[in-house]
Amino acid sequence: MSGYLDDMVSCICRSTFDDLPQNVVTRSKEVMADTLAVIATGAQEEEVKALTKRIVRPGSSAVATLIGLGVRTEPAKSALINGTAGTFLELDEGNQFARGHPAIHIIPAVLAVAEENNFSGREILNALVWGYEISARIGIASRMRMSMHPHGTWGTVGAAVAIGKLMNYDKHTMKEMINVSSSLTLATSRRTMLEGGIVRNAYAGVSGYMGILAHHLIQSGFTGERDGLGSVFGSVVSDTFVPEEMTNDIGRRFEIARNYFKRHACCRYNHSTLDAMSSVAAKMPGGRIEPEKVAEVEVETYSVAAQLCDQNPQNTLAAKFSIPFAVATFIVHGHAGVSSFTPQAIDDSAVKTLTQHVSVSEDSKLTAMLPDHRPSRVRVILNDGTVLEAENFTNKGDPEDPYSPEELETKYFELAESVWNREVAQAIYADLMSLDELDNINQLTARMLPRA
């Protein structure tokens, strides 16, 4: 069974930046820009600032940038904090085929190691593509237990592969890197997202940290199983692992080019419902639904999304995983962006009241449309008896209905300008869009630090 590992590792190790198709290079730049803006904004959350204050100390090893915080720390801590910050807003990109969020596990680790070693933009993009590729393929090849959260699992292997690619590992060492890192995954719980357990936001950061640790373990002589992927993802966190998925069309089909981006600052399972609500709102005067006129909202959706039915979320994370709250805050604020999921929004009396009038149920016919579709149907019943209906089958931002480059740029600046001034945000964006021409990543990250 482990023969697939040799084929996979051979492809990873021989691939160069020049082998990447142009659409893959373009998408990897967009993923970098989107992820860095999300990290920078998420770093403003109080929990991230408190964590940084507790574990970051100045010193000679402070070579890796904490994005949005204007300080540097050692690489492993940078990967931990940046990866954690990037999950707080629920705006990081993802891959529907892998059923998870590869980039936020990989980019913080890649960036930290690249800063320490003065790597170029081309080296970083190539490492990102291959780290993304392997982590997403593990998600495709396995069917993790429904009780598990995908954060902090196969992303650990992706971070390790990306670092191995940066460090120009040979085939033997890269294979060992995969086998070691597969044993460094977390036992994650899906309940954290439903109950507002904010520890869930650290899962991706831990993956980046573990990816860097795997590099140091390998260089210190540590070894792993003969087939860590098959073992961990075939019998520990999942009972199903299809090794052929790890090599099928590898080097020709790139998962990063099949990703999705997010504009609603909440769980993707909410998005189909919110897109349907947007269709309803578009028909109203001024493009808004007046909260005081709403009597009830009925949502029918697919099985996994129907689990997000909490009408009394206690914190921002629980709110982001609640369809009733997402619908209510969308109606009250007119959007589902960052400001609609703050502690202030959770305490908003109008949102609280309306949340109690949003019901969620599963429609088995909609569930049967998975995985090709992510359907939802909404009925907004007004106080005068008027019924407004809409249904949606594909999330905006998915490969079937992608955001345009202009829409992604707008998202970047909405986030980036909440952290940096316009001049700095523009300079960072320009560097990211021409990352393959950058000789040293520190030219970019230096822009994120306070001016002397």
Q: What is the mean pLDDT of residues 254-258?
A: 97
Q: Among 56-60, 70-74, 303-307, 377-381, whose mean pLDDT is lowest?
A: 56-60
Structure tokens given for 240: 């199903």
437 and 363 share one domain: no
Range of the domain at 124: 3-262+405-448
According to DSSP, the residues that pair with 72 across neighbouring strands are 65
Structure tokens given for 117: 């070693």
Q: Is residue 222 within 8 Å of 182, Cβ to Cβ? A: no
113 and 43 share one domain: yes
Looking at 392, 413, 439, the residue that finishes a domain is: 392
Q: How many residues does the chain have?
A: 452
The CATH number assigned to the domain holding 432 equals 1.10.4100.10
Name the domain count of the chain. 2
Banded pLDDT at 370 (limits 50, 70, 90): confident
Q: How far is CA 176 from CA 108, 140, 241, 442, in A?
A: 22, 22, 19, 29
Q: How many CA atoms lie within 13 A of 69 on its CB side?
A: 26
Is the pLDDT at 1 greater than 70? The verdict is no
368 and 421 share one domain: no
Q: What is the mean pLDDT of residues 280-284?
A: 93
250 and 354 share one domain: no
Q: Name 308's Cβ contacts closer than 8 Å, sequence gap at least 6.
A: 194, 267, 269, 270, 321, 322, 323, 360
| 50 is a domain residue | yes
The overall average pLDDT reported for the chain is: 95
Supply the pLDDT for residue 28: 98
| 400 is a domain residue | no
Banded pLDDT at 452 (limits 50, 70, 90): low
What is the sign of the dihedral through the CA atoms of 5, 7, 13 and 15?
Answer: negative
Supply the Cα-derived Rg of the chain in whole angstroms. Answer: 22
Is the pLDDT at 131 greater than 80? The verdict is yes
171 and 314 share one domain: no
**DSSP-derived pairing of the beta strands 358-362 and 376-382:** unpaired
Question: Phi and psi for 118 in degrees, rounded to 5?
Answer: 60, 45
Is the pLDDT at 74 greater than 70? The verdict is yes
Structure tokens given for 104: 């936020």
| 37 is a domain residue | yes
Is the pLDDT at 423 greater than 60? The verdict is yes
Q: What is the mean pLDDT of residues 139-164?
A: 96
SS3 state at 119:
coil
> What gap in Å lies between CA 247 and CA 16, rounded to an integer?
17
215 and 274 share one domain: no
Looking at 392, 424, 440, the residue that finishes a domain is: 392
According to DSSP, residue 335 is labeled: S
| pLDDT, tens digit, 9 for 90 and up, residues 226-255 | 999 999 999 999 989 999 999 999 999 999
> What gap in Å lies between CA 260 and CA 96, rounded to an integer?
7
140 and 9 share one domain: yes
Q: What is the mean pLDDT of residues 53-78?
A: 92
Q: How far is CA 276 from CA 72, 260, 270, 388, 404, in A?
A: 43, 18, 10, 11, 20
| 372 is a domain residue | yes
| pLDDT, tens digit, 9 for 90 and up, residues 331-360 | 999 999 999 999 999 999 999 999 999 999
197 and 295 share one domain: no
Banded pLDDT at 53 (limits 50, 70, 90): very high
Q: What is the mean pLDDT of residues 431-436?
A: 98
Is the pLDDT at 172 greater than 80? The verdict is yes
Q: Is residue 230 within 8 Å of 178, Cβ to Cβ? A: no
| 443 is a domain residue | yes
According to DSSP, residue 324 is labeled: H
244 and 346 share one domain: no
SS3 state at 378:
strand
221 and 114 share one domain: yes
How does 361-388 read in b/e, with b if 16+ C-beta sit within 10 Å?
Answer: ebbeebeeeeeebbbbbbbbbeeeeeeb
Is the pLDDT at 194 greater than 90? The verdict is no
Q: What is the mean pLDDT of residues 277-294?
A: 94
Looking at 344, 369, 392, the residue that finishes a domain is: 392
How does 66-83 read in b/e, with b if 16+ C-beta sit within 10 Å?
Answer: bbbbeebbbbbbbbbbbb
Banded pLDDT at 213 (limits 50, 70, 90): very high
Q: What is the mean pLDDT of residues 1-5?
A: 81
> What gap in Å lies between CA 448 and CA 70, rounded to an integer?
6
Q: What is the mean pLDDT of residues 4-14?
A: 97
Supply the pLDDT for residue 2: 67
39 and 185 share one domain: yes
Q: How far is CA 56 from CA 73, 74, 84, 99, 106, in A?
A: 6, 8, 14, 33, 21
254 and 380 share one domain: no
Supply the pLDDT for residue 204: 98
